[in-house]
Amino acid sequence: MTQCRGPTRKETIVSEARSYLALAHQQSYFDILPPKEIASYRSLIFAESWSLDSFDNVSLPTCAFQQLFRKSPEKVTVVSHEFKRARFEDIHFKVLGGGQYEFVGKDPEYMVTDPEGKRAKSVREAELRNGYDVWKKDMRGQGEELLKKRNRRDPWKVGLLDEYVALESAECYQRRLKWESWF
């Protein structure tokens, strides 16, 4: 299991991955792991802290898994907001070419209690405009718009390519850039 996201806020160097990992532990891993087996899985859970966008959230842990275990994961479960489901299932999972991806969505409470409310509608519209539509036009995330977005989300300049290539994941990362099937 991998928690993903780099440090995207200037207020803290703590990566989103570390925050998500703490939340997942607090929430008993969202019932993805059998409660009685959580302790045995803890050594297999790590935080991938370079991701700066949703595609990296899926592709970079896949690379890390391949590097650590010298094989592709049998199953990848992405836990995110339900309102982002289409972006992951229609775009990211298809680009990665594997059928082993699963999406578990949980929306913020205000979207659950008032799904037709102004705030919930605004968030869904913003996801469509700034997320889904942008990724649909640039499915590998290599265009200028998504590059600028990643740079804005990198206040600590953790960067990606140099560090990731230094981890000898160049081949895996290059497949991601070329939009080749992973499996």
Q: How far apart are CA 145 and CA 11, in angstroms?
A: 24
Report the pLDDT value the prediction gives residue 183, as an integer from 0 to 100.
Answer: 34
pLDDT of residue 118: 98
> What CA–CA distances, in Å, run from 172 to 25, 28, 100?
29, 31, 17
Distance between CA 80 and CA 103 in Å, rounded? Answer: 8
pLDDT at 179 over 70: no
Amino acid at 14: V
Kindly state whether residue 37 falls inside one of the protein's structural domains: yes
**Is residue 183 assigned to a domain?**
no
What digits encode the pLDDT tens for the residues 121-130? Answer: 999 999 999 9
169 Cβ contact list (under 8 Å, min separation 6): 63, 64, 66, 67
Q: What is the mean pLDDT of residues 55-70?
A: 83
**124 part of a folded domain:** yes
**Prediction pTM value:** 0.78
Phi, psi of 27 (to 5 degrees): -95, 20
Please report whether residue 113 resides in a domain: yes
Count of structural domains, the chain:
1
Rounded to the nearest 5 percent, the helix, strand and coil shares of the chain are 55, 10, 35
> Which residues face 180 on adjacent strands?
none
The residues that bridge with 103 in the sheet, in sequence order, are 78
Residue 130 lies in a domain: yes
- Is residue 165 a part of any domain in this protein? yes
Residue 35 lies in a domain: yes
- Mean pLDDT taken over the chain: 80
Give pLDDT, residue 22: 83
Residue numbers of the domain that contains 118: 2-178
The answer as to whether 14 is a domain residue is: yes
